A and B are shown apart, each in its own frame.
Chain A
Amino acid sequence: MTIGAALPVLLLATSLVPAIATFFIPERSHRLRTALNVIAAVVKVVLVGALVAGVLYFGLEFEWRAAFLPGIDLVLRADPIPLLFVFLSALLWLTTTVYAVGYLADDGHRSRFFGFFGLCVTATVGVALAGNLVTFLVFYELLTVTTYPLVVHDGTAKARAGGRAYLLYTLTGGALLLLGTVWLHALAGPLEFGQTEVVGALAVNHRTTLTIVFVILIVALGFKAALVPLHGWLPQAMVAPAPVSALLHAVAVVKAGAYGIVRVVHDLFGLPLAQDLGVLMPLTIVAAITIVYGSTRALIQDDLKRRLAYSTVSQLSYIVLGISVVSLSSTTGGLVHLVHQGIMKVTLFYCAGNLGKRGVHRVSEMDGIGRRMPVTMLAFTVAAVGMVGIPPTAGFVTKWYLGLGAAEAGQPWIIGVLALSSALNAAYFLPPVARAWLPPDPGERSEPTGRALAGEPGGWLLLPPVATAVSVLGLGILAGAPLSPLTWAAFIAEELMPS
């Protein structure tokens, strides 16, 4: 096997093999389990580094394929868009593994947890590198099922209800994705991502069918991408332990949906065909509705994780909005938000988890928490500011490019949506920040008791949010640097634009 074929497989194996091994580690062997999972995560980051370097500096092609069904291959390929996603998932897997070790320190069933956690990341890497729709479908469904045990990990009635909602929504989406995939396969035969000309050629005779298939695929992916009104599972699934929520909301599940929409639009149909079929404008409108709806719902949530969940609904649609508007800057903004949203949201969920460890679950309980947990709240503040889109954070970069793109495409109403959304973001993110840092109102002051008196949690729980919060700033300040996600996204966008 050449290096070009081996690396994609190794990327999968570095989480699959440790995951399977983890299932067999006795519950008590805490050190062994931790070492195995952290080392595997580090190795994966190194391999992704090698992958990026190989593509950028040596012009290598990384592709692995194996016969699956007659005439259909399973394909893993490191194209430009997959690199962006695989880079994100490898980095955030590392930080989330570290965080989960700390978060579950006193929990039972850790071998089960880390086993499924590893399977979940395997599936995510498979989704990222999928070279055709069938491979994408296989890993997308695998992701659905391997995440379920994580969502219901606590085993409480609430967790099971969340898990049930999660599975019923995502499996419905999966059934539609299967339908769309089979239909496209029946029309076009074996089809790989990037062969947009094949689908384009079909449009001569099958315009209506292609439009229907496009709608089926987008609706199918919209379940995981939490497009309104298919988002109902997301706020329920946030009952999962904080590391799972972090993974769910930043890298794995919802991101797989948004990423799938990116690939269907850009690598399957292609912008020219999608534009020609007239399916992009409705998608933009759905994304805009989702952005405003999610933010509005977030505004009225007192439960911190629920507020973050509705914020995810809203933020994900920035990606969809970006790629559904045909202009260089919009596409750049949409693609780069794949990375930016992940890093900002993961930080917020780490912080919410830390607060939860101290018994703080509601925004109304956050008064003065900044003085007891300054590091956690600093990270929270940076990420929240990023979500609002204030410079110099990653979130600002996204919104700037989306706004610019809307102007380029001659759709100024989108700028209005962005402005409204930013105002709503500020309205639901700044109050918790203000409560945390400002001295509490003497009239309502209640004496903190018990767990709430304790300060910051240990290093395993602090390091990840600090690292990701620094990245939020770094991605904003160094956005124009070579090798930054923005540079990479802009490069991809240029390739994708219809000439």
Chain B
Amino acid sequence: MSELSLAAGVLVLVVAGPLLGAVLAVADHGHASSRLVGLVTGLIASAVTVLSVTVAGSGTPLTLVLLAGPGLELTLVADGLAVAMVVMTTIVAIAVAGFATSEDRESPQARHPRFWPVWFALWSALHLLFLAGDLLTAYLMLEAIGVAGAALVSLDGRRHTLLAATRYLYAELVASMTVLAGIALIWHQTGSLRFAELGPELSAHPEGWLALGVVTAGLLLKLPLAPVHLWLPAAHAWAPSAVSPILSAVVVKSAFAVLIRLWFLASPGLVTRHGAQLLGSLGVVAIVWGSVVALRSAHLKQLIAYSTVSQLGFLMLLVPLMQAGSADAWRGGVLYAVAHALAKAALLMAAAVIAEDAERPDVEAVIGAVTRRPLAVFAIGVAALSLVGLPPSGGFVGKWYLLVASLRTGQWWWLPPILVGSLLTAGYLLKLLKRAFATDDLATSRPTASPVAGVGAAPEAAAEPADVGFDARGALALALALVTVVIGVRPAALLELIDIGAPLVTGGG
């Protein structure tokens, strides 16, 4: 009994820890000191570690009913999917917290006072969303995440960021209302909103399909999946450098987690081949669309934002492959989501460091960066390894299982999108890497260099490595990227965790 209550306490702490951070940050007038941030993140990290070890050790999902009553209930379910997502969120959030405090040290007064409270609240909402055992909690958290995300984007108050944040917020509102309408339909039919209780009640008749379809439509706009992704690139590209990593890495996984939980854990009886194939096809559209725009993009963070659009398409391939009965698809899709989060956050952090140095936002900022910021460039390289899906990286393991699932279910038509999509990914990331190694055209492309400087003299000066000191933020980005390599070398533990409470695994799929 005491073991259970310990686990329950830890589960609560996982959600409440970031909230505590938010409260303390408000009390600190928003200027969260690095000691405060360190203490709170340390607390959360310990709680998440204990939670993941407990769940992985027991091999069964951990369920905790906090409130029970008609219409007002709160259940936390820590199954493999939830714990994997929480671990992913925590790792990314710790890296971003370190990144932001490092920024604060360099320019103490630059941080908006509302940043830390909102940032911690977002973290808490993400944890609660992933652990939510019922649709209503999930919906409320999706709403909270959307509002907090848009608020963080808008903090610097410049015209184009406000515009981007407003579009983000509108999209979130439309999506939320759609999801809510769908949830109402589900409640009307089943009288329950707990994921675990929906299955038998939601029957395969038009009303059930309508409900699932409406919720799904809302979630796809939130995710966002092409072709309704248009709000994402501006919001992610204009967000401050300590916010974009959380948005592109973790926030986009929130709707994904709810979607696959609803489809395959709550109402598997409703999922039809046509619906699953449609979602998979939209995934392919996203892969190609996102990659092609990223390939043509000249703006550094916009390129990375379109990369997110494209990578979300890969995640969507989980749906048709799961529908066809492959447990490998679940492993591949969820692990790919985790690997993408780590790599994408590392990529955005490294890009922010490099762009800040060069004082320009376009891809030419990366020119010659390997001399100025070797750690950040290395981070981009390692992140690229995982995003392209090359071994040894988490991205490789994820793609491996998606490919295995395609072949085992006979749905060979997903093979070309996965492989070609990987090559396109390599194509747009190579745009960054090849510029990083450039030595010859620094004089013409750095705005700081005088345009009349002698062509022969400038590269000489640039070749002399400037002493930038220890690049703490670049090192953080590199450490985060290297986590994907650790996953790629030793994926077994994470794969076993993901299998806990996964659909099809116990059914011998």
A161's closest neighbor in chain B, by CB?
A: B434
* Complex interface residues of chain A between 147 and 163 (CB less than 8 A to chain B): 148-149, 152-157, 159-160, 163
Chain B contact residues: helix, strand, loop or mixed: helix
Mark contacts of B436-474 with chain A using CB atoms, 8 A cut-off: 1 yes-contact digit, 0 otherwise: 011111000000000000000000000101000000000
User: In the assembly, what is the distance between CA of A56 and CA of B140, in Å?
Assistant: 69
> Is A371 in the interface zone, CB < 8 Å from B?
no
Note all chain A residues with C-beta closer than 8 A to B422.
Answer: 171, 175
Contact B407 A174 (CB under 8 A): no
Note all chain B residues with C-beta closer than 8 A to A185.
Answer: 404
Note all chain A residues with C-beta closer than 8 A to B491.
Answer: 68-69
Mark contacts of B364-396 with chain A using CB atoms, 8 A cut-off: 1 yes-contact digit, 0 otherwise: 000010110010000001000100111110001
> Is A70 in the interface zone, CB < 8 Å from B?
yes
Contact A154 B390 (CB under 8 A): no
Q: Report if A186-B408 is in contact (Cβ < 8 Å); known contacts: A112-B374, A144-B390, A174-B390.
A: yes
Note all chain A residues with C-beta closer than 8 A to B368.
Answer: 155
> Is A138 in the interface zone, CB < 8 Å from B?
yes
> Is B426 in the interface zone, CB < 8 Å from A?
yes
Task: Name the interface size band of chain B.
Answer: 35 or more
Contact B495 A69 (CB under 8 A): yes
Identify which of B385, B426, B439 gathers the most chain A CB atoms within 10 Å of its CB.
B439
Note all chain B residues with C-beta closer than 8 A to A179.
Answer: 403, 415, 419
Contact B437 A155 (CB under 8 A): yes
Contact B495 A152 (CB under 8 A): no
Contact B434 A164 (CB under 8 A): yes
* Complex interface residues of chain A between 44 and 89 (CB less than 8 A to chain B): 67-70
Note all chain B residues with C-beta closer than 8 A to A174.
Answer: 390
Contact A167 B438 (CB under 8 A): no
Contact A178 B419 (CB under 8 A): yes
Identify which of A27, A167, A176 gathers the most chain B CB atoms within 10 Å of its CB.
A167
Note all chain A residues with C-beta closer than 8 A to B53.
Answer: none
* Complex interface residues of chain B between 387 and 439 (CB less than 8 A to chain A): 388-392, 396-397, 399-400, 403-404, 407-408, 415, 419-420, 422-423, 426-427, 430, 433-434, 437-439
> Is A142 in the interface zone, CB < 8 Å from B?
yes
A172's closest neighbor in chain B, by CB?
A: B423
Chain A contact residues: helix, strand, loop or mixed: helix
> Is B492 in the interface zone, CB < 8 Å from A?
yes
Give the residue of A145, A148, A157, A182 whose beta carbon is less than 8 angstroms from that of B403. A182
* Complex interface residues of chain A between 253 and 275 (CB less than 8 A to chain B): none
Task: Give, as a whole number of angstroms, the nearest-CB distance from A130 to chain B.
Answer: 12
Contact A69 B441 (CB under 8 A): no
Contact A164 B391 (CB under 8 A): no
Give the residue of B404, B426, B496 whose beta carbon is less than 8 angstroms from that of A182. B404
> Is A365 in the interface zone, CB < 8 Å from B?
no
User: In the assembly, what is the distance between CA of A109 and CA of B404, in Å?
Assistant: 41
Contact B404 A164 (CB under 8 A): no
Note all chain A residues with C-beta closer than 8 A to B381.
Answer: 145, 149
Q: Report if A152-B463 is in contact (Cβ < 8 Å); known contacts: A157-B440, A175-B419.
A: no
Note all chain A residues with C-beta closer than 8 A to B392.
Answer: 138, 142
Contact B390 A145 (CB under 8 A): yes
Q: Report if A141-B391 is in contact (Cβ < 8 Å); known contacts: A163-B437, A168-B427.
A: yes
Give the residue of B400, B427, B439 whose beta carbon is less than 8 angstroms from that of A155. B439
Other A-B contacts than A153-B437, A178-B419, 8 sampled, CB-CB below 8 A, are: A145-B385, A154-B439, A155-B439, A163-B434, A164-B434, A167-B430, A171-B422, A179-B419
Chain B interface (Cβ < 8 Å from any Cβ of A): 368, 370-371, 374, 381, 385, 388-392, 396-397, 399-400, 403-404, 407-408, 415, 419-420, 422-423, 426-427, 430, 433-434, 437-441, 463, 465, 491-492, 495-496
Chain A interface (Cβ < 8 Å from any Cβ of B): 27, 67-70, 108-109, 112, 137-138, 141-142, 144-145, 148-149, 152-157, 159-160, 163-164, 167-168, 171-172, 174-176, 178-179, 182-183, 185-186
**6 A-B contacts (beta carbon < 8 Å):** A27-B465, A68-B491, A69-B491, A149-B381, A171-B422, A186-B408
